[in-house]
Structure 1
Amino acid sequence: MTSMRTFLTASLVLLVVACGGNPEPTGMSNPPAADLAAAPEQAGTSRAPAKPPAIVEESAADSSDSPIVLVAADTADANLPLAPQKYSAGQHYAVLTVAQGTSSSPDVIEVAEVFWYGCSHCYSFDPFVTKWSDELPAGVEFIRLPVIWNPTNQIHARMFYTAEALGKLDVIHDAIFKELHVNKKMLTTEAAIEDFFVRNGISSEEFQKTFRSFAVESKLKRAKNLTQRYRIQSVPLLVINGKYVTTGEEIRNFDDILAIADELIVREQAEL
């Protein structure tokens, strides 16, 4: 995992300004200040009123009516029988008081990248997190979770899950980012997205059967639910095993995000 660091350019060592949104009304509200005690505002960060592992299983404690609160870990909890911890809750990551389930088996550690195709920082982060994920140890699974704050996020998430359902995500994921950030096509209508898929080798018939399918609708519902449960306020970030969220005022760059995730993965491995 350490070899990933060599790919960071000098420009990425500067403060990472995460993508937030100016969401259209979706029935979500800003989390109360107490809920974000471990996720202080990052300088220059644009925040959203609420933002996703690809499908995460809920535990009995996961009732949609039960608020999931981010809090700083008790200092006593930091004295774990592990190697000295470089990163701390509240400064580098937030701790979910009720751990969320994951889509992976109990003996696997899941790392979910929460992102939005329209976010320029997510576009910049993507090649680095992809390379990093390729070097994860056995027993650690990397997934992507599209954030859903508003209708624009939602149609982009629908595009992601459509490509996944068609088995084309590996070949079309990069193309989507480039279409938005290089070709400056926002892909915010079904017609524009269908045309894009056709240009990338997927028939209109395949697209139409999948875009609003039950499988895609189910994944969208879960992604929206997790956007709220994880109290995601900006992207990109990582959620480690449904317990930790890489957010905090001391995170300065992509390297920090990945290093924090490395440390939290080791912590989770020790608990298996």
Structure 2
Amino acid sequence: MLKPLLVGLAAFGLSTLAVAAPVAGQDYTVLDTPVKTQVEEGQIEVTGVFWYGCPHCYNLEKPLEPWVAELPEDVTFNRLPATMGDTWVKHAFAYYAAEDLGIVDEVHNDFFDALHEQGKRLTDPNDIADFFSNYDVSEEDALAALNSFGVKSQVNKANARMRSMELMGVPALVVDGRYVISPSSAGSLDNMPLIAGSLIEQIRNERGTSASAASQAEATEESSQE
């Protein structure tokens, strides 16, 4: 079983892992019906499903953020706000509004902090707009984004995508639209990115590619465009 080995390797901060194969049904689950990925051909998608109000999602950010920062060129990480309740949906609107306003990278961790460290709820659109005003966005623009058709459409798509992933809770990492990693399957929050890294390597082997080959291909493409 993979968990003991991963715990021992967690301190090394490895972004991918190929030393042991994770076990389906133990370290992760396999979706009966794969979800269509939202990445370009040749890319491997990792989807981080979260809710801002979830303490485990908040705590996962600590091991997840540096792991995402070190992902190779052939891996794309996307976030997906879960929509399992009324408050969840309101926070999903906040996430996509921040994305629409171009401030999601600045806001993401601070939004978590506001809920879990400062005791805020941030469910009322006016409160969210006031929060966003700290990021060079007017409250009027923030409210417009929160109420826009585009953001509502994104939330609806997120809801449909989350349901197709057959998720029973969050946080979750979904790799290549096929493999679902949860805290319980991984054994700990720290293990989740490590198991995802091992699955990424497994997918590369299935495709007959490697991280270095993907990097070289991208470098060649960039060079040809110059």
Q: What range is the shorter-chain TM-score in? A: 0.7 to 0.9
Determine the structure 1 residue equivalent to 2:151. 216
> How far 1:249 moved relative to its partner?
4.8
Tell me the secondary structure at the aligned position of residue 144 of structure 1.
strand
Asked whether 1:118 is paired with 2:123, we answer no
> How far 1:163 moved relative to its partner?
0.4
CA–CA separation in structure 2 for the residues paired with 1:240 and 1:270: 14
Tell me, yes or no, if the aligned pair for 2:83 and 2:159 is still in contact at 8 Å.
yes
Q: Deviations over 1:102-160 (max 9, x none)?
A: 11112100101111100111111113211101111120011111111011000001000
Tell me the secondary structure at the aligned position of residue 254 of structure 1.
coil
CA–CA separation in structure 1 for the residues paired with 2:130 and 2:165: 33
- Structure 1 residue ranges, 4+ long, deviating more than 2 angstroms after superposition: 4-8, 83-86, 247-251
Tell me, yes or no, if the aligned pair for 1:160 and 1:169 is still in contact at 8 Å.
yes
CA–CA separation in structure 2 for the residues paired with 1:221 and 1:261: 26
Give 1:6-85 correspondences, 5 Å limit.
Answer: 6=11, 85=20
Determine the structure 2 residue equivalent to 1:193. 128
Supply the RMSD in Å over aligned alpha carbons: 2.1
> How far 1:6 moved relative to its partner?
2.6
Structure 2 residue runs of 5 or longer lacking an equivalent are: 1-6, 208-226
CA–CA separation in structure 2 for the residues paired with 1:126 and 1:167: 20
Aligned-partner residue type, residue 165 of structure 2? Y
Give 1:1-272 correspondences, 5 Å limit.
Answer: 5-6=10-11, 85-247=20-182, 249-272=184-207
> How far 1:246 moved relative to its partner?
0.5
Distance 1:7 1:235, change over 3 A: farther
> How far 1:88 moved relative to its partner?
1.1
CA–CA separation in structure 1 for the residues paired with 2:189 and 2:182: 12
Tell me, yes or no, if the aligned pair for 2:63 and 2:190 is still in contact at 8 Å.
no
Aligned residues: 196
Q: Under a length normalisation based on structure 2, what TM-score does the superposition of the two structures give?
A: 0.80
> How far 1:85 moved relative to its partner?
4.7
> How far 1:97 moved relative to its partner?
2.1
CA–CA separation in structure 2 for the residues paired with 1:84 and 1:167: 39
CA–CA separation in structure 2 for the residues paired with 1:237 and 1:170: 20
CA–CA separation in structure 2 for the residues paired with 1:214 and 1:220: 10
Tell me, yes or no, if the aligned pair for 1:162 and 1:211 is still in contact at 8 Å.
yes
Paired-residue identity, %: 36
Tell me the secondary structure at the aligned position of residue 164 of structure 1.
helix
Distance 1:249 1:181, change over 3 A: closer
> How far 1:5 moved relative to its partner?
2.7
Tell me, yes or no, if the aligned pair for 1:91 and 1:248 is still in contact at 8 Å.
no
Aligned-partner residue type, residue 137 of structure 1? P
Tell me, yes or no, if the aligned pair for 1:92 and 1:248 is still in contact at 8 Å.
no
> How far 1:257 moved relative to its partner?
1.0
